[in-house]
Structure 1
Amino acid sequence: MEILETALMQRALIAAVLVGIIAPAVGIYLVQRRQALMGDGIGHVAMTGVGLGFLLSTSPVWMATLVAIVGSIAMELIRAYGRTRGDIALAMLFYGGMAGGVLLINLSPTGSNANLSSYLFGSLSTVSEADLDAIWILAALVVLVTVGLRRQLFAVSQDEEFARVTGLPVRALNLLVAVTAAVTVTVAMRVVGLLLVSALMVVPVAAAQQISRSFAVTFVLAVVIGTAVTLAGTVTSYYQDVPPGATIVLLAIGVFLLLTALATPLARRRTQTLRSAEGERPTDEADGAALPAMREPSDEARV
């Protein structure tokens, strides 16, 4: 295939697959915690790291990762301890991060508006060998955390008080989710862009939830959808010369709309079936009361 003949597109496709896997893998926990826009905030903060990377002539990916991790920890601490003015502090952190990144990139000798645009919206031509090495390492860490600690992270995301009672280190796990989200944002910025990465973390999860109520199945479906749209968006961007980030996000939204349309009649049919089953329950001949419906036990956590 023509698209696989150039080293540039080989790197871009590998990066797209990695991003498609880890973005929904982290996003499912953010959706459970009702922090769907956290990735967007981290993306704003990561811009300062990109600017510092250009200014100090170091790797923008690694510098953005460092700054994003610090910013994500600050966000989690503000969320945990900020009561009345926490939203104001977060807003200043988000906007300050974006403004600082724009300023630093323009002050750096190697920075330009083209560089800024590639980090904001993604660019296939910017994935270098060094970037791919960083993406591999960071993506592996994200997979280890999101899969290896899935039970603990799910418990904390569902009910912090219950998780605390069971003895889980809730504060440490919350910080781990925040740091993992920060790493995911910096990994994805080359493909999707900092301003659109939050959508890739959330939309595939929302799409998978339309046809699944099981956490495990939703997790797998979200990763499959994320990988499919990132690959399709990257290929479309190559042949049609359109921005990869915007293409990927629009494809993800299209999948969400399609699954929503398919899930609606299925949900209605399921409801009608349940109602019919309830109407046909056997009754106790002694008092005429309906016998309780039998439910099969399930060990699988529900979304």
Structure 2
Amino acid sequence: MIMEFLEPAFMQRALIAAVLVGITAPAVGIFLVQRRQALMGDGIGHVAMTGVGLGFLLNSSPVWMATLVAVAGAVLMELIRTYGRTRGDLALALLFYGGMAGGVMLIQVGGGSNANLLSYLFGSLSTVSEEDVTAIGILAAFVILVTIGLRRQLFAVSQDEAFARVTGLPVRALNLLIAVTAAVTVTVAMRVVGLLLVSALMVVPVAAAQQLSRSFRATFVLSVVIGTAVTLTGTITTYYQDLPPGSLIVLLAIGVFIVLTALSAPLARRRARAAAEASGAGTDGCDAQVPLTRRPTDDVTV
């Protein structure tokens, strides 16, 4: 049967989780890319590992515990970014490495196995439980509401904090909200792609979408479409092939980025040529410089 992958209960749960991850990761990642914080998700993933370890140690839900620890770590990271000076990088490094080391230690102390550890580091679709799906659904709803409902304010802060402050936006609160939303997204995605690879799913679909789109709105929509497509394709493929889901999903996203980059090159040259011709016509044939193209997410259409 063509749709036989829909029959097992674990695949139904995995597909639901994959769709939610495919939507939420790029939805938050677009703001991180705009803020030049593409690797923030990777740092939060390291910190969230301590939450997973605490979940095993306290015999509670690793997803919810990871969410609490990741949110606390993300807030601390944002405060270090805002107020840290010469020792800010050192403090972040200690936070990242300490979070990962602490998580591995707590999982072992709490009775977890190497299989448990690997499933959270690199994802494991077969271990997604009904409790995990419920938690992922609640957390994903929060992320979607924030990224869509406050997209204009978050875009303004991500684009230019000084201008956003002048217009009266609560810049500090919005920065913290971006950090918290990123932390929640990491815990949403960890059961599908794993804590070590979640940052790639937050960034690569956005980078791929930027190859074709020229506005924030179009980049947002296209990156979510790409994220959902690669997570679903990777999840279905792992049902038929014994492949690690997280790695496959990330490699598919990178493949899409490469293809779209190749397709966008002729389009970019055509646009540059048209701009040069228009500029030349406007100056009666005098030499004119081709204007620099803006990044796709620099367009204020949100």
Pair 1:282–1:79, CA change in 2 (3 A): closer
Pair 1:82–1:282, CA change in 2 (3 A): closer
SS at match of 2:235: helix
Q: CA deviation at 1:19?
A: 0.2
Distance 2:115 2:124 in 1: 10
1:256-275 equivalences under 5 Å are 256-275=257-276
* 1:240 paired residue number: 241
SS at match of 1:195: coil
* 1:277 paired residue number: 278
* 2:169 paired residue number: 168
Q: CA deviation at 1:282?
A: 7.2
Q: Does structure 2 conserve the Cα–Cα contact (< 8 Å) formed by 1:20 and 1:223?
A: yes
Distance 2:20 2:143 in 1: 10
Distance 1:88 1:252 in 2: 31
* Matching residue's letter, 1:233: G
Distance 1:198 1:143 in 2: 18
1:38 corresponds, among 36, 40, 46, to 40
Distance 1:204 1:107 in 2: 37
Q: Does structure 2 conserve the Cα–Cα contact (< 8 Å) formed by 1:118 and 1:190?
A: yes
CA RMSD in angstroms, aligned pairs only: 1.8
* 1:91 paired residue number: 93
- Quick check: 265-274 or 5-14, which moved more? 265-274
* 1:11 paired residue number: 13
Q: Does structure 2 conserve the Cα–Cα contact (< 8 Å) formed by 1:75 and 1:90?
A: yes
Distance 1:172 1:239 in 2: 46
* 2:109 paired residue number: 107
Off by >3 Å, runs of 4+ in structure 1: none
* Matching residue's letter, 1:88: L
Task: Show CA shifts across 1:20-57 (max 9, x none).
Answer: 00000000000000000000000000000000000000
1:48 maps onto 2:53 in alignment: no
Pair 1:266–1:102, CA change in 2 (3 A): same
Q: CA deviation at 1:241?
A: 1.1
TM-score by structure 1 length?
A: 0.93
Q: CA deviation at 1:64?
A: 0.2
* 1:81 paired residue number: 83
Q: CA deviation at 1:236?
A: 1.1
1:222-237 equivalences under 5 Å are 222-237=223-238
SS at match of 2:60: coil
Q: Does structure 2 conserve the Cα–Cα contact (< 8 Å) formed by 1:213 and 1:302?
A: no
* 1:297 paired residue number: none
Q: CA deviation at 1:267?
A: 0.4
Distance 2:281 2:78 in 1: 51
Distance 1:151 1:114 in 2: 42
- Quick check: 136-145 or 274-283, which moved more? 274-283
Task: Show CA shifts across 1:243-263 (max 9, x none).
Answer: 000000000000000000011
1:149-168 equivalences under 5 Å are 149-168=150-169
Distance 1:274 1:155 in 2: 28
Distance 2:40 2:280 in 1: 45
* 2:300 paired residue number: 301
* Matching residue's letter, 1:268: R
Distance 2:279 2:63 in 1: 57
SS at match of 1:280: helix
Q: CA deviation at 1:168?
A: 0.4
Distance 2:14 2:148 in 1: 24
Q: CA deviation at 1:275?
A: 1.3
* 1:295 paired residue number: none
Task: Show CA shifts across 1:93-132 (max 9, x none).
Answer: 00000000000000012x1100000000000111100000
| Number of equivalent positions | 291
* 1:138 paired residue number: 139
Q: Does structure 2 conserve the Cα–Cα contact (< 8 Å) formed by 1:160 and 1:170?
A: yes
1:207 maps onto 2:202 in alignment: no
* 2:250 paired residue number: 249
Q: CA deviation at 1:278?
A: 2.2
- Quick check: 184-193 or 263-272, which moved more? 263-272
Distance 1:95 1:234 in 2: 30
Identity of aligned pairs, percent? 80
SS at match of 1:168: coil
Q: Does structure 2 conserve the Cα–Cα contact (< 8 Å) formed by 1:204 and 1:222?
A: yes
Distance 1:224 1:6 in 2: 25
SS at match of 1:63: helix
SS at match of 2:192: coil
